[in-house]
C-alpha cells in the first residue's frame, strides 16, 4: 500500500472513532477510554451509561461493497471479550456490559453510520 493511502486510511479511521465518540456522548454516555490497550488487545472505545459498560469496535470502510460491520471477525470478538474481561476485573463494583459495533461507510464528506448495539454475545462464554 502506498504511504499516502495508508495515511489516508489512518485519518479516516480516526475520523470514524471521533464520530463514534460523538455519537455515544450525544446519547448521554461517558467516554471512559479511547484506544484502550491490554497486552496486544485494543478496544476502540469504552463508554459508560449508568451501570452499563459498552465496549465499542469502530469499523470504517470507504468502499460500499462490504459493510464495515462485516469486518468484525470471530477473532476480533474473542479479542474484545478478553480485553473486556480484563477491563471489568480492574473496576470496583458489578457492571453490566455489552459489545457494540459502530460502522461508518463512505468518505469524509459523504458517509453513513450504522450502530449495532449488543452486536454479539461473548464468544468466550459459549
| Residue 66 reports pLDDT greater than 70 | no
The string of pLDDT tens digits covering residues 82-101 is 999 999 999 988 899 999 99
Exposed/middle/buried for 55, CB within 10 Å: 0-12, 13-18, 19+? buried
Q: Is the pTM of this model over 0.75?
A: yes
Task: Please report which helix (H) or strand (E) contains residue 32, including its range.
Answer: strand 30-38
Instruction: Give 107's strand partners.
Output: none
| Residue 123 reports pLDDT greater than 80 | no
Beta strand 96-106 with 52-61 is: parallel
CA distance 116 to 54: 12
The string of pLDDT tens digits covering residues 29-57 is 999 999 999 999 999 999 999 999 999 99
Amino acid at each position: 500500500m502506498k504511504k499516502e493511502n495508508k495515511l489516508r486510511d489512518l485519518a479516516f479511521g480516526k475520523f470514524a472513532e471521533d464520530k463514534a465518540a460523538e455519537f455515544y456522548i450525544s446519547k448521554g454516555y461517558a467516554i471512559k477510554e479511547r484506544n484502550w490497550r491490554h497486552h496486544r488487545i485494543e478496544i476502540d472505545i469504552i463508554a459508560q451509561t449508568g451501570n452499563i459498560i459498552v465496549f465499542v469496535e469502530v469499523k470504517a470502510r470507504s468502499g460500499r461493497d462490504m459493510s464495515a460491520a462485516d469486518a468484525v471477525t470471530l477473532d476480533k470478538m474473542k479479542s474484545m471479550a478478553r480485553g473486556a474481561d480484563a477491563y471489568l476485573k480492574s473496576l470496583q463494583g458489578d457492571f453490566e456490559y455489552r459489545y457494540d459495533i459502530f460502522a461508518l461507510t463512505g468518505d469524509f464528506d459523504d458517509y453513513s453510520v450504522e450502530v449495532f448495539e449488543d452486536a454479539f454475545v461473548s464468544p468466550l462464554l459459549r
